[in-house]
Amino acid sequence: MTLLLEVHNLKVAYGGIQAVKGVDFTIAAGELVTLIGCNGAGKTTILKALAGMLPTVSGRVRYNGDDLRHCPAHQLVRRGIALVPEGRGVFSRLSVAENLQMGAYIRRDQAGIAQDLQWVYDLFPRLAERCVQPAGTLSGGEQQMVAMGRALMSRPQLLMLDEPSMGLAPLLVERIFATIREISARGVSILLVEQNARLALEIAQRGYVLESGAIVLADSSAALLGSEAVRLAYLGG
């Protein structure tokens, strides 16, 4: 097993409040790992720190064997790390196609960009139908597709997803999770933060449970799904 991401004793603080209290986890190349926990547990903070959007207090983050502690966010994208943020963050006045093309801003391989754009349209046929429509006029589910497609256009090795099902109707949630499986099957490593713990554990290989900024459980997804403590706290009893 080749480790793609190694996080050791990561600490992140907002002012004087320590939001992440020394977490350790790993992601192997091609692995789909989920991070679950209640609201306020620190999940989004971890993703933002890994994406270079928040400074860390201490700890070590290694990606492909390299130390990322002092790597700026734009360089992380060039290294193959992409974040789909909570709330989607689409460019509302740009068209769907322009949003997707923005995801490839670091690339110069025009043939590869065209190939990946077609892949995104194959993953999300709705986006192909609405390619000239301003992204801000799309539904929440369609905007989530744009945000995921935009991240994929950078051709990431590690894709981080923050609450992709938030605010979506059940049928759209099912479609988004089916797409996450397809992306994983292409060999992209995925770190998934998701409020629907059951769905997340059903598609992931491994999971970590975060409480108050600390990891309290780490196991295979099957083991966590079978855990009574996890079931009572996160799976609806």
Distance CA 4, CA 20 (A): 21
pLDDT for 234 equals 87
51 & 162 share domain: yes
Task: Report residue 95: phi and psi, to 5°.
Answer: -70, 170
pLDDT value of residue 149: 97
DSSP-derived secondary structure letter, 184: H
How many whole angstroms separate alpha carbon 109 and alpha carbon 10?
A: 36
Q: What is the DSSP letter of 167?
A: T
Specify whether 130 is located in the same domain as 232: no
Q: Residue 195: its pLDDT value, please?
A: 87
162: containing domain: 1-80+158-180+189-237
In order along its 237 residues, the chain shows pLDDT tens digits of: 799 999 999 999 988 889 999 999 999 999 999 999 998 899 999 999 999 999 899 999 999 999 998 888 889 999 999 999 988 789 999 999 999 999 999 999 999 999 999 999 999 999 999 999 999 999 999 999 999 999 999 999 999 999 999 888 898 999 999 999 999 999 999 999 998 999 999 999 999 999 999 999 999 999 999 999 899 888 875
CATH for 9 = 3.40.50.300
Scanning the structure block, which residue is given the tokens 């974040």? 83
pLDDT of residue 237: 57
- For residue 202, count other CB atoms closer than 10 A to its CB: 14
To which H or E segment does residue 66 belong?
Answer: strand 66-67
Contact 6, 26 (CB under 8 A): yes
Kindly state whether residues 95 and 201 are assigned to the same domain. Answer: no
What pLDDT, on the 0 to 100 scale, is given for residue 1?
A: 73
